[in-house]
Amino acid sequence: MTGMIEKLKALPETARLSITFDRGTEFAYYPLLKQKLGMDSYFCKPQAPWQKGSVENTNGRVRRFLSRDTDIAALPEEALLQICDRLNATPRKCLGYRTPHEVLMNSLDPRLPGLRNPNQLRPGSP
């Protein structure tokens, strides 16, 4: 959870209001997110993977690079970052053929063209 907190800390507060997890034991320390970042945490109902469709889709994408028996904890951080970079640079039909990285950056800076929430306040503004 410490690594997740460090990565989320880099985002503006408006981009880290809440997070939804599946029910894996790796999220047992979720209260730290509230304590350290003020984030609310939610969990999917058991046996209801459709509540977290993007996670199921992403798991399938990750499995293109790592088999199910891979111990992710044993992998070097650089290898995991390379997979993340590749996944975040892959255009998605559901995002209008933009990449997840593009959509995130557009939502954080409303001056950028493309997909964005028109009600999004500029991060850092009052």
Q: What is this structure's pTM?
A: 0.70
- Tallying the residues shown for the chain, one arrives at 126
pLDDT tens, the chain, 126 aa long: 888 898 898 888 888 899 888 777 888 889 999 999 999 998 888 888 777 778 778 888 999 999 889 998 899 989 999 999 999 999 999 899 999 999 888 888 766 555 444 444 444 433
User: How distant, in Å, are the alpha carbons of 26, 58, 65, 93, 97 from that of 115?
Assistant: 32, 20, 28, 13, 11
Q: How many CB atoms lie within 10 A of CB 80?
A: 16
